[in-house]
Structure 1
Amino acid sequence: MKTIINTNFVKNLAFAALALISVSAFAQEEEETAPKFSFSGSVDAYYRANLTAPNDEEAIAPGSSFANLPGFSLGMANLVAAYEGEKVGFVADLVFGPRGTDAVFASPMYSMTGDIINQLYVYWNVSDDVTLTFGNFNTFLGYEVISPVANFNYSTSYLFSYGPFSHTGLKADFDLGNDWSAMLAVMNPTDLTEFNPTGDYAVGAQLGYSGQFLNFVYSQSSFEIDFTGGFDVTEDFFLGINAAHFSADDNAGSFTGVALYPQLATSENFTLGLRGEYFMETDEFGAIGDVFDADGDASVFAITLTGSATIGDLILKPEIRLDSASEDTFIDNDLAPTASLASVLFAAIYSF
């Protein structure tokens, strides 16, 4: 009888333990699949000074976006709220400050009245391999982005500055397996966000393989092709690549450029990186100093050396930059026209 009692006790104990494990596993599974709400963002500020030009003129700066103000200057506060469900979710990405204002410059109705929306979209994971996104999202073209947290260099390239910042529309992302991916999109004209005032639309496409992406955007008036990628040459050395060509109809202008981003990690908390870029525009398309040759063309070669030191969630970036244009697009310290500009910058970025 003692043996039977002990056996039943062991069986009951085993059943209770199994039930406890099952409940624990179920609770853990429920926790893992429960919807997740997250709140993240960054703040940044910087100091910039010209070495070969006066510092009392805002216009004396590289002809690229952001980080062009003299002295101690503000970047932006970036606040991102996201909800990730099992199948659906949303992202609300808000920006405040000079960098944020520049990022939403082409919002036709609200950019001059305090528009703070950088991205605002919903998404649906139709399956494990297909995701639909609807709303306003940052561009899929190019190596650099609006947020300074995700860029190695603090100042931005001409390729980034001339290309689109954002798109509004519907896109479908496809996981093709074996490191292949694809994307198709239909969108408002470039950078038009809250509505479409022209009735025209653009289509976008992307083909990706193992971190290398070939991108296309086509509209009634323009076409752009872009390659963005990078390679881990060694464990400590990375080489990023960006190349693009844009062409507008009716001789409205074009640009072509290529940029290389070699980056060497010298320690766990410090990386040294260089951006070398050649950029050319035609038919007075853009504003490389607003000065062009007789054919309306201009080009620039820019080298940017940046150090990136990480202290917890704080990133410190000292930077020196040299822009050399084909025309006298800048001025020197004697206020004489010159083709080059040297400047220094120090940025502090906190992310959370």
Structure 2
Amino acid sequence: MDDGLREQPPTSSRHVPVLLDRCVELLAPALQPGAPGAGGRAPVVVDTTLGMGGHSEALLERLPAARLVAVDRDPQAIALAGARLERFGDRATLVRAVYDELPDVLADLGIPSVQGVLMDLGVSSLQLDEVDRGFSYSRDAPLDMRMDPTTGITAAELLNTYDAREISRVLHVYGEEKFARRIADAVVREREREPFTGTARFAELVRDSVPAAARRTGGHPAKRSFQALRIEVNGELDALRAAVPAAVDALAVGGRLVVMSYQSLEDRIVKRVLAEGAASTSPPGLPVELPEHAPRLQLLTRGAERPDDAELERNPRSAPVRLRAAERVRPARGRR
């Protein structure tokens, strides 16, 4: 670990995991000794978004029979959380990867199926709190926004190279921004004067592009645009569309999936995959449901659960979270 990481405060003091007790409660029944599908081995739980390791640490502490596989694309997260989880020895395996690579991760580890999967989506506390990463509009920083800072296009490169139509599409589709075209036209006009490099200038441009009446509600006017750039830079929704079905496929019968989303675009993807898995595929009119058409999933939450007042007081960043969970109740064809 480099000196910069050693000088940071302990991760446990920098990070309050969202809905921690509820996540453990939902996953715990699938992660007991002798769990179905474990074949006599330790039940496996996958944390597909390791971050600073708060959820992973709690799962290992409270569920002593479980083995953890934790995934994150961010090398700094792997380093910080690795130090936090070191005391658990070989019960914790950390892998640098994007969560849609879950099938390859498990295949490389020789794990045919797992008993639990946790997905805590969006940007992590680590990324929000590191000013130089450029995820926040509250302080000036380089316009980067890459979750893996070693690869891919930065937010600055996006703003300086996409044409107005492409920028407008990103802001409208991923940020649900009503004034996407006005902002995009302003970006193209202003970058001719000077290329974009920092978050403060872009945040100010967004504010100036949004009508005064629209600035009075909904928080900072740049919030949606920053979300949109982050999603585009990291390919988040494309990865999520592949990752949620992959997580369902990885579950043994009796295994459980818990997903926390922080904005409507993520939640729609999760809701659709879980709803499809919980529905029968029997052709209409059959008098008896065929076993191969029975639902694969049983929903464990009624709709999306939201944080209560105690959670909000303890962790204001949990305000937008929507939690959904399901249990695998039928194997895939050809699997037991």
Q: TM-score range by the shorter chain?
A: under 0.3
Whose helix fraction is larger, Structure 1's or Structure 2's?
2
| Higher RCO (CA-CA < 8 Å; seq separation 6+) | 2
TM-score (norm 2): 0.28
Look at both structures and tell me which one has the larger radius of gyration over its CA atoms: 1
